[in-house]
Structure 1
Amino acid sequence: MALNPNEKPDKSVSKFELMLKTDDVYFFDSEDFETIIHHYLNHGKLSLAKKAIQIGLQQHTHSMELKLLRVEVLVFEDAYQEAEGILDELQQLDPSNDEIYIQRANIHSKQDDHLGAVNLLLEALHMTDDALDIHSLLGMEYLFMDDYEKAKRSFIQCLEFDEKDYSALYNVVYCFEFLEDFQGAVHFLNDYLERNPYCEVAWHQLGKMYCTLELDEEALVAFDFAIISDDQFIGAYFEKGKVLERLKRYNEAIECYEMTMQIDDPTSHAYLRIGKCHEKLQNFDLAKYYYYNTVHEDPLLDKGWLAITDFYFRLEEYKRALHYVNKAISIDGENPVYWKKAALTYQALQDWDEADYAYRQSVELGNYELETYMGWVDVLLRNGEAEAAIDILKQGVEFHPESAELLYLLAGSELQRHQTRAAQEYFGKALQMDVHKIRVFETYFPEFLQLPWVIDIFSVHKKAST
């Protein structure tokens, strides 16, 4: 069984390292070698683990446990053929050794043969008195196969052997989430809590499920029980704060976030959330203080820079907003969200050329939102660039073929360059999609509203929609 990597090395490890330093030869029993090897494997010291295996097999030539540890290292190094050879020898000596099947399963898994790994693990399950680890391995193989139902059952089996196996508990909830069976997760967690009423992990997960189901009051109760079970549980305080924010109970939310900073070092996420709460309370100086602390704590947190930018943008202090979004871009110029925010800020400052460039950067970096295309076309039309606007609109329609707004803008842009037939086609499609969104056409192209064919087509579609 693997040791806890946080445990201090025992005397056998210290004695082994002394032997290596002095070149003396000390004798260890095979169990000591197992302890030494597990210690090095758990701490990622592979070369020392291999050295211990080598010396261990010199002193205990026939030790099956040490040979299996050698197989484990060989598999880690992708030396599958050599590992299989050793396993063949061991299986002849002890055909009912479950560890042999587990290691074979590990080889199949690493070669992406997860079904083969599952079959070997199921065989091992019939040979072992300790099924917990095998059920856990089965659960992981089923996850690799995207069989979340079987994975869930395997991890539930783990909990039947050990109800304190929180890794299995998290995995069960993960499977429920992936299956979008949130009610099932709630039922499972409530059943688990009947047997383990002081399990802070289960209360925390239950609270998150309630949040997903938008049952905020129930979520608050669950997070409170998590905190009662462990008053140092930072995650429960943080999630409770987020729920209180949604309920507009900002002062209480701030208290929760402040608790996380009393328990452990402050984090950029806590500063950010407190800043947002103070902004909602119109405590603008405090909001600024916490936003600045956010980016000081983590300069790479995009939400921090965006929060400062949005803060000044909402106050219509666009030049200051621009300063901070440009600072963000200087840190991460590949972030499309930064570029979009820069575009909106330039737009507010009526700097159309810079706004055009920023929108282009945002889209080229993968931001294909409808809002982005609408904003970009607004800039181009205000800058008198109908030709460029048409190119961008056609690109936007590829990503948003259901958008009536883009088609109305295409119709008007085509009219600006005297392409009546194309304009009529786009205008008719837009009216079929949503006659009420003609206000987009009215806003940008009021000069075309009195064209006879525009009046006729609009009248027909308006009657059809009533």
Structure 2
Amino acid sequence: MMIGWGLSSPKNTWNQNQKGQILIKKKQYQAAIAIFNRSIEIDPDSEEAWSQKAYCLWCLNLEDLAIECFRKVLEIAPDNEYAQMSIGKIYFVREEYHQSISYLDRAVELNNQDISAYYYLGLSWLNIDEKILAYQMFDRAIQIEATEEQDWSDKASFLWHLDLLDRAVVCYQKVLKLNQHNTYARISIGKLLFGLEKYSEAIAHLEESIALNFKSIDTYYYLGMSFQKAQEYEQAEEVFDQILSLFPDNSIILRAKGILLYELKDYEVAIAIYQRLVEIEPENPIFWYDLAYCHALHNNPELAVSALQRSIEIQPEEFKQHARTDLDFASLQDNEMFKQLIER
């Protein structure tokens, strides 16, 4: 958000704009728009009034009208970095990445030290599968010295995309020094430590997140998975059950618990989990496949073949190939229905 420019105007819109900014701080966007409209009547070329009106429209989710106002700013001042950046961000959120890139490119030209501009530009390139250009943006951004909380967070994100996980952790730790209540940074450190296979550290960090009431599904998922990877299975199951008591049909947590039970060779309970998963997402071939190998391991050949058949119907080549080499189906190697299913 950019407020409080305090631009001087030969037509004396300063007082009006100050009133509008006070209303913005109170999140009274409609009232602020009325004030900025008066400023525009006084001075149709007021960059500040048009920019602040655009910002208010953006906050009200009136994106098309916001873009129109930001474009008016650019008619008045083509090198207005804030307007270029804002239009680029709106298009990014709308997943109109080519449009986003055209404005963000210009924003970077105007200020090559703006980490946030590189952030959205890099992700826009990434979302249209131009990875080389995306990583070039990320690489440029991590060379810039960060001072603000958001800049450190953006740098951490770039480093994460570049698989420089240790350096990403350091950046998120900088974020927490500036704002210990930044939920995203705290949980991200836990995820990164999990990715670095530092499971004990991940557990400590994620447990601290939960103690501070950051009780997102992500937090519980990575905490449970960290316990599982550390072979602390009882604690892992307890974490999964805790979040499932709040979100009983969450497929990510259900599958995580299913995999845990599979590793513990508790196939009967795992089957119940996977049966629930195929009820929730009947077109997900992975869940049918998981159900199939649990049935096979639990000596239910007919049910195993039936579940595998459903998996293969949804995604034939991939799951046929998996089943041909999967040792979990060893008990079915002489089963005629199984052989016909994977060979045809």
What residue in structure 1 maps to residue 91 of structure 2?
175
What residue in structure 2 maps to residue 445 of structure 1?
332
1:326 aligns with 2:241: yes
What residue in structure 2 maps to residue 402 of structure 1?
315
Matches within 5 A, 1:40-439: 132=50, 136=54, 155-161=70-76, 166=82, 169-175=85-91, 178=94, 181-182=97-98, 185-197=100-112, 199=114, 201-209=116-124, 212=127, 213-214=130-131, 215-225=134-144, 227-228=145-146, 231-232=147-148, 234-366=149-281, 368-386=283-301, 388-389=303-304, 392-393=307-308, 396=311, 401-404=314-317, 438-439=324-325
Q: Structure 2: how far apart are the matches of 1:171 and 1:45?
A: 19
Q: Structure 1: how far apart are the matches of 2:238 and 2:95?
A: 44
The 8 Å contact of residues 159 and 165 in structure 1, kept in 2 or not, is answered as no
The 8 Å contact of residues 142 and 159 in structure 2, kept in 1 or not, is answered as no
Q: Structure 2: how far apart are the matches of 1:194 and 1:45?
A: 31
Distance 1:242 1:387, change over 3 A: same
Structure label with greater radius of gyration: 1
Distance 1:282 1:259, change over 3 A: same
The 8 Å contact of residues 272 and 291 in structure 1, kept in 2 or not, is answered as yes
Distance 1:334 1:310, change over 3 A: same
The 8 Å contact of residues 136 and 158 in structure 1, kept in 2 or not, is answered as no
The 8 Å contact of residues 337 and 367 in structure 1, kept in 2 or not, is answered as no
The 8 Å contact of residues 343 and 358 in structure 1, kept in 2 or not, is answered as yes
Identity of aligned residues (%): 15
Displacement after TM superposition at 1:283 (Å): 4.0
| Mean CA deviation greater in 211-220 or 262-271 | 211-220
Distance 1:216 1:444, change over 3 A: farther
- SS of 2:314's partner is coil
Displacement after TM superposition at 1:211 (Å): 5.1
Distance 1:152 1:248, change over 3 A: same
What residue in structure 2 maps to residue 92 of structure 1?
none
- SS of 1:331's partner is coil
The 8 Å contact of residues 204 and 236 in structure 1, kept in 2 or not, is answered as no
1:340 is aligned with what amino acid?
A: R
- SS of 2:155's partner is helix
The 8 Å contact of residues 104 and 117 in structure 2, kept in 1 or not, is answered as yes
Distance 1:440 1:185, change over 3 A: same
Distance 1:350 1:174, change over 3 A: same
Q: Structure 1: how far apart are the matches of 2:97 and 2:241?
A: 43
- SS of 1:275's partner is helix
Q: Which runs of 5+ in 1 are unaligned?
A: 6-30, 50-67, 73-97, 100-124, 409-433, 462-466
Distance 1:274 1:134, change over 3 A: closer
Displacement after TM superposition at 1:319 (Å): 2.5
Displacement after TM superposition at 1:327 (Å): 1.6
Distance 1:176 1:207, change over 3 A: closer
1:257 is aligned with what amino acid?
A: Y
1:219 is aligned with what amino acid?
A: F
The 8 Å contact of residues 217 and 243 in structure 2, kept in 1 or not, is answered as yes
Q: TM-score under structure 2 normalisation? A: 0.68
Distance 1:169 1:295, change over 3 A: same
Displacement after TM superposition at 1:386 (Å): 4.5
Greater length-normalized contact order (CA 8 Å, ≥ 6 residues apart):
2
Distance 1:41 1:277, change over 3 A: closer
Displacement after TM superposition at 1:161 (Å): 3.6
Q: Structure 2: how far apart are the matches of 1:156 and 1:200?
A: 23
Q: TM-score under structure 1 normalisation? A: 0.53
Displacement after TM superposition at 1:194 (Å): 2.9
1:175 is aligned with what amino acid?
A: Y
1:289 is aligned with what amino acid?
A: A
- SS of 2:334's partner is helix
Q: Structure 1: how far apart are the matches of 2:182 and 2:270?
A: 33
Displacement after TM superposition at 1:280 (Å): 4.7
Distance 1:298 1:364, change over 3 A: farther
Q: Structure 2: how far apart are the matches of 1:40 and 1:152?
A: 18
Q: Structure 2: how far apart are the matches of 1:166 and 1:358?
A: 51
Q: Structure 1: how far apart are the matches of 2:331 and 2:212?
A: 44
1:307-326: CA deviation from partner (whole Å, max 9, x where unpaired)? 12111222333333212111
Distance 1:44 1:310, change over 3 A: same
2:164 is aligned with what amino acid?
A: R
Q: Which runs of 5+ in 2 are unaligned?
A: 5-14
| Number of equivalences | 314
1:261-280: CA deviation from partner (whole Å, max 9, x where unpaired)? 11112434323332344445
Q: Structure 1: how far apart are the matches of 2:333 and 2:24?
A: 76
